[in-house]
Amino acid sequence: MNTYDESIEVMVDNSVILRKEVKEKVEEISEADILVGIPSYNNAKTIGHVVRAVQAGLTKYFPDARSVLVNSDGGSTDGTMDVVRETTVDFESILLKHRVGRFYKIVTPYQGVPGKGSAFRTIFEIARELNVKACAVVDSDLRSITPEWIEL
C-alpha cells in the first residue's frame, strides 16, 4: 500500500528528498554565507555540546555572516533532534560586539537509509540551495570540539 506524505517533497533535479518545512525554511533564508552541518544518529548525549560550540564559533568569529546550522538526522530514536532544537548559547558571555549577521538553525530527519552517513546528502543539498560560500561538517559526538574549530 502506497501512502503519500505531504510533508516530504522530492526535488526532481537531483533526487534529494527534503521535507516540505525544510524547503520552506530554505526559501525563507534564501541565501547564506556559512553552513555548518551536523549529521546525527542517536547522539542525544553528545550533540548539545557540539551545537553550542558551533553556534558560539559562528557568532564569535563570523558575527557579520549569515550562518546556518543544519542537523540532518538519520533516524534517531533517543531525542537527538529535540536536543538540537532546544540547545542555545548565551551569546552575551562570549561576544565582544553584538552579532550583526543572522543565525538560522534547520533540524530535519534524513529521508533514506538510517545512519549518520546518509544524512550528508541533505546537508550538502541545503548548502547548494542556499548558495553558501563555505560549508563544513562536524561529527555529532565530538567531545573535543571548541568554538575555535569554526574559525579554522
- DSSP code for 15: T
Maximum distance among all Cα pairs of the chain, rounded to whole angstroms: 57
Say how many domains are in the chain: 1
C-alpha span between 57 and 47 (Å, rounded): 15
- 1 lies in some domain: no
- 89 lies in some domain: yes
> Per DSSP, which regions of the chain are E strands?
8-11, 16-19, 34-40, 67-73, 103-109, 134-137
The three three-digit cell numbers of residue 42, written as one number:
542517536
**Are β-strands 8-11 and 16-19 bridged in parallel, bridged antiparallel, or unpaired?**
antiparallel
Q: 125: domain CATH number?
A: 3.40.50
Range of the domain at 23: 8-144
Q: What is the pLDDT of residues 3-17, one digit of tens each?
A: 434 444 444 344 556
Q: What is the pLDDT of residues 72-90, one digit of tens each?
A: 998 899 999 999 999 886 6
Q: What is the pLDDT of residues 97-108, one digit of tens each?
A: 555 568 899 999
pTM recorded for the entire structure: 0.82
